[in-house]
Chains A and B, each alone.
Chain A
């Protein structure tokens, strides 16, 4: 380009600034979302339940006079009583303590796995969406192939290879779980990347990484938050599933899945051993699911299911 054409635009002075004055208090997207969420009774109830469960799982084991491994072989299979609120198990261990420790482990696994999904998913999905069709397409193919491999089988295989521990489960769940997240991010980025503000940033010489992480990702947060919330219960389920089969958290540590699995052999006679952890597991997952649904509605009322 040798010569710039004279600009067809003429600069005007701002004269009518009064016209721009906003009469009502302006609300950010977050405030609107929060207001919508707060008016959803089910979602708020779930949120309170989740907070209560989290607090109980933190404090109950601390203030309990027992630990997960104090056993008393003279008092096995005790029914719930003032001394042992949830009874005792086959080794006389206090089930109240073990159950809340189990809830704690379930929550840790769920949240940790969801966070790892989030990090890997955002990075991979962001690049996949923002890169050109060749690189992005190849990355998508890889993700598709990995996704085709059955989820829980991979988790089972990995827990065999790495031994069963909390870390293993979290790693195994993250290895398989990030793909959905990366697709959500990719879809969002593909929609957004042709917007003017991206062009503006590009023309100002911003690097691809800056555009991706400063401009595009923050605009995709809504769906991302919803996906994270909904991936917590599936991680909790996967952990409980593995522990139920005896491939997850090992005794003396307990998770809800372990407790349910242990109760299975004797629960026709001692039903509370099963009922309590099973209901806590179900309530936790239910609360996460309902809260996630509520979040989804709050972020995108058009998508109302």
Chain B
């Protein structure tokens, strides 16, 4: 088990190295620099600015300096917001994104698993068909469309919620809905197809024959196996929610990390773009790692096979 998780960790470190390197050189390949303005700056001043940010050194040296700082969790200075470090921008804005993201994950898992289970229990009945039709819609309608629509109908027309901003707890509702529709739909489909398989398996028949109540069969034997793919989906779900938060924060005007990311891309704020990209990647890898660890606890078969698991 230690070897298995250790291998995963080494993979993560390599992926991050590749990503950091690729991002660094991509950023350097972008034409123009963050200090290009409508009014030309005198060359001496520009040289000074470039020197301040270390942009005058040869590219190989810049890379080494960046990587060295990166290892010490120093992401450098933002090039557009003066005197702010990338780390401080991230730590200030991530809280908002994290809260909405966490709500979305919890709600997606609860509603998704519930819908999927209900659909599997009433296979090919009205509940099943309705739930699966809703799921296809949830997968097909882009989150920014859902976000804009609920904003229009619930805030502008019915005035139940504030249109934008994040002042009271109720303002979290709409962004959370917009973020969680896709994961809910996905989880519902996953849970349904696994549960259909699980419910027809031999051990469920044994459990029935033992005389267990349907409730116990469903929750103890059915769900524990049916939820495995949902655990695997945790990684991709985090990715979905991260990218989703970029547009959702834009729509609802939230001061989150996603909004900063779009701004930094628009402004060509190299250090901020790199910093946020790497930060997102770290979160994502962490989610994948947690998935691997969770899997060991949820799936008893992994322990039996002596830790050599091929995922």
Contacts and interface: CB of A to CB of B under 8 A. Distances in A.
Contacts of A240: 142, 144
Chain A contact-residue range equals 35 or more
Contact of A160 (B19, B251, B273, B288): B273
Contact of A281 (B145, B268, B288): B145
A281 B14 contact: no
B266 interface: yes
A286 B144 contact: no
A116 B45 CA distance: 46
Nearest to A236: B142
Interface string A70-96: 000000000000000000000000000
Residue of A153, A163, A247, A293 with most partner-chain B CB within 10 A: A153
A149 B18 contact: yes
B262 A245 contact: yes
B140 A233 contact: yes
Given A241-B247, A305-B192, A290 B239 contact: no
Interface in B210-262: 239, 242-243, 246-247, 250-251, 261-262
Contact of A148 (B144, B265, B288): B288
Interface in A243-262: 244-247, 260
A7 B30 CA distance: 70
A164 to B, nearest CB: 11
Nearest to A284: B140
Interface in A136-184: 141, 144-146, 148-153, 156-158, 160-161, 163
B196 to A, nearest CB: 8
Contacts of B144: 240-241, 244, 260
Given A274-B152, A285-B142, A241 B18 contact: no
B285 interface: yes
A123 interface: no
A188 interface: no
A289 B15 CA distance: 31
Interface stretch (B93-101, B106-114, B168-176, B276-284): B276-284
Contact of B136 (A149, A245, A260, A289): A289
Main secondary structure of the interface of B (DSSP, over half): helix
Chain B contact-residue range equals 35 or more
A160 B30 contact: yes
Contact of A282 (B26, B140, B247): B140
Contacts of B288: 148
Contacts of A233: 140
B209 interface: no
Contacts of A264: 148, 251
A271 B152 contact: yes
B145 A150 contact: no
Contacts of B141: 282, 285-286
Contacts of B29: 161
Contact of A260 (B137, B145, B152): B145
Contacts of B65: none
Nearest to A278: B145
B247 A286 contact: no
A246 B266 contact: yes
Interface string B20-53: 0011001101110000000000000000000000
A144 B26 contact: no
A134 to B, nearest CB: 16
Residue of A149, A240, A278, A281 with most partner-chain B CB within 10 A: A149
A233 B138 CA distance: 13
Given A150-B242, A161-B30, 8 more contacts: A141-B11, A149-B22, A150-B284, A241-B144, A264-B251, A282-B145, A289-B136, A289-B139
